[in-house]
C-alpha cells in the first residue's frame, strides 16, 4: 500500500461506484494543480481497474499504462503532455464517473449494444461506453446522451436540451474525425448494399455469476439495430467487416457447440441405456448361476438322502 497522505487537501472519500471499501483519492476538485500535487506526493491511491492493480499509485504507473488507462476511460491521452497532467485528468474523470447515473450509463450500453453484465460496475460501464464511437444518437435516451457526452469529456449539465448536447458532441468530435466518419459511413452504405442486411436481435446482457436475470432482454432502453453500415461507420471498413465476420463465426461456433452438446447428451443416454441393459443381463446371469448351483446342491442332497434312507432301512 502507498504512503499515507501528507497533503492537507487529501482525505478519505467513498467511491460510489466501487464495491470495495473507500479508496484514498484526492478530494479537492477545485484545482487540477492540487490533484497533481497530491499525485506527486504519492497520496492518491487508485481504485481497482482492469489495467491497474488495487492500491497501486497512479503516479507510479509508466506513461504508456497511464495513456492506456486514460483511453479506456474515454479520455484523449494525446491532449496531456506530462504524466502529472494525465494522472490528474484520470482522477477528475473518475470522480465525474462516480457522479453519473448508473441507469443512464446502462441506457448508453444497451443503445450501443456493448457486451456487459447486468450488475457491471460504473467503471466497467464507462470502459464500454468509451468504446462506442457512434455519432448517430437515435434511440438513445436523454439521460443516456448526457452520460455519453460526459464520458467523452464534453461538459454538460443535467437536463440540458438535446440539441445543445448534440452540438457540443459534434464540436468535440473535430473536423477531421467527422470527415473520416462520413467517409466510412459512405463506404459502409456501399458495403451494406453489396452484402445485404440481416435483422439484428434484441440486446441481451452477458450472463453474470449467479445472476438469475442474466440473458434476458433489456427493457431499459429501445435496442438499436446495428447494421453493417453502422459498424463500418464506427470502426472502419476492415474493423466493421472483421466484427461482422467475428459475430458470424461466433454464431457458427455456438451452433456447432449446441450440436456437439446434443450429440454428447444422446451418447450419454445411449451409454446409460446400454449400461442398464448390461446390468439387468448380468444380474439375470448371476441368478441363473445361483439357481443351477441350488439345483445341483438339491440333486446331490437328494441322492445323499436316498443313500442314507437305503442305508438306514435296508442295511446289508
Interface residue list for other proteins (CB under 8 A)? 275-276, 279-280, 283-284, 287-288, 290-291, 294-295, 297-298, 300-302, 304-305, 307-309, 311-312, 315
Question: Closer CB to other proteins, residue 190 or residue 287?
Answer: 287
Work out how close the CB of 312 gets to other proteins at its nearest, in angstroms, rounded to a whole number.
5
Work out how close the CB of 309 gets to other proteins at its nearest, in angstroms, rounded to a whole number.
6
Work out how close the CB of 266 gets to other proteins at its nearest, in angstroms, rounded to a whole number.
18
Q: Helix, strand or coil for residue 279?
A: helix
Work out how close the CB of 308 gets to other proteins at its nearest, in angstroms, rounded to a whole number.
4
Q: Around 100, how many Cα atoms within 13 Å sit in the side-chain half-sphere?
A: 35
Question: Closer CB to other proteins, residue 262 or residue 290?
Answer: 290
CB atoms inside a 10 Å sphere around CB 250? 10
User: Of 73, 79, 82, which Cα lies nearest the Cα of 100?
Assistant: 73
Question: Closer CB to other proteins, residue 161 or residue 276?
Answer: 276
- The count of residues in the chain is 316
> What is the C-alpha to C-alpha distance for residues 173 and 234, in angstroms, rounded to an integer?
13
User: Of 98, 78, 80, which Cα lies nearest the Cα of 88?
Assistant: 80
Question: Closer CB to other proteins, residue 186 or residue 290?
Answer: 290
Question: Closer CB to other proteins, residue 174 or residue 276?
Answer: 276
- The backbone region for 238, taken as left when phi is positive above 0, alpha when psi lies in -120 to 50, beta otherwise, is alpha
Phi, psi for residue 217 in degrees, rounded to 5: -70, 135
Work out how close the CB of 291 gets to other proteins at its nearest, in angstroms, rounded to a whole number.
6
> What is the C-alpha to C-alpha distance for residues 105 and 43, in angstroms, rounded to an integer?
30
Pairing outcome for strands 24-26 and 10-12? antiparallel
Question: Closer CB to other proteins, residue 186 or residue 301?
Answer: 301
CB atoms inside a 10 Å sphere around CB 264? 10
Q: What element of type H or E holds 24?
A: strand 24-26
- As given in the structure block, the three cell numbers for residue 169 are 458532441
Question: Closer CB to other proteins, residue 190 or residue 290?
Answer: 290
CB neighbour list of residue 113: distance below 8 Å, 6 or more residues apart = 200, 203, 223, 224, 226
Work out how close the CB of 33 gets to other proteins at its nearest, in angstroms, rounded to a whole number.
60
Work out how close the CB of 265 gets to other proteins at its nearest, in angstroms, rounded to a whole number.
16
Work out how close the CB of 267 gets to other proteins at its nearest, in angstroms, rounded to a whole number.
16
Question: Closer CB to other proteins, residue 163 or residue 314?
Answer: 314
DSSP 204: B
Amino acid at each position: 500500500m502507498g504512503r499515507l497522505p501528507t497533503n492537507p487537501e487529501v482525505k478519505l472519500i467513498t467511491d460510489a461506484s466501487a464495491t470495495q471499501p473507500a479508496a484514498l483519492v484526492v478530494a479537492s476538485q477545485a484545482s487540477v494543480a492540487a490533484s497533481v500535487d497530491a499525485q506527486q506526493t504519492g497520496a492518491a491511491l487508485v481504485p481497482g481497474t482492469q489495467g491497474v492493480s488495487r492500491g497501486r499509485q497512479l503516479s507510479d504507473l509508466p506513461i504508456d499504462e497511464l495513456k492506456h488507462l486514460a483511453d479506456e476511460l474515454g479520455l484523449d491521452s494525446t491532449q496531456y503532455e506530462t504524466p502529472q497532467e494525465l494522472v490528474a485528468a484520470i482522477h477528475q474523470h473518475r470522480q465525474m464517473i462516480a457522479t453519473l447515473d448508473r441507469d443512464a450509463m446502462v441506457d448508453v450500453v444497451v443503445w450501443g449494444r456493448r457486451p456487459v453484465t447486468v450488475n457491471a460496475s460504473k467503471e466497467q460501464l464507462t470502459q464500454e461506453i468509451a468504446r462506442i464511437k457512434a455519432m448517430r444518437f437515435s434511440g438513445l435516451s436523454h439521460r443516456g446522451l448526457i452520460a455519453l457526452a460526459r464520458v467523452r469529456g464534453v461538459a454538460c449539465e443535467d437536463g440540458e436540451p438535446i440539441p445543445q448536447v448534440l452540438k457540443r458532441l459534434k464540436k468535440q468530435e473535430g473536423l477531421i474525425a467527422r470527415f473520416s466518419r462520413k467517409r466510412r459511413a459512405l463506404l459502409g452504405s456501399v458495403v451494406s448494399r453489396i452484402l445485404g442486411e440481416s435483422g439484428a436481435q434484441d440486446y441481451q446482457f452477458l450472463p453474470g455469476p449467479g445472476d438469475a436475470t442474466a440473458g434476458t432482454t433489456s427493457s431499459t432502453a429501445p435496442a438499436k439495430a446495428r447494421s453493417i453500415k453502422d459498424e463500418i461507420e464506427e470502426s472502419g471498413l476492415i474493423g466493421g467487416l472483421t466484427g461482422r465476420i467475428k459475430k458470424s463465426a461466433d454464431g457458427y461456433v455456438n451452433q456447432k457447440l449446441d450440436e456437439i452438446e446434443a450429440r454428447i447428451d444422446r451418447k450419454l443416454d445411449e451409454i446409460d441405456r446400454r449400461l442398464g441393459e448390461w446390468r439387468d443381463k448380468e444380474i439375470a446371469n448371476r441368478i441363473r448361476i445361483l439357481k443351477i448351483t441350488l439345483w445341483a446342491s438339491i440333486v446331490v442332497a437328494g441322492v445323499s438322502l436316498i443313500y442314507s434312507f437305503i442305508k438306514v432301512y435296508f442295511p446289508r
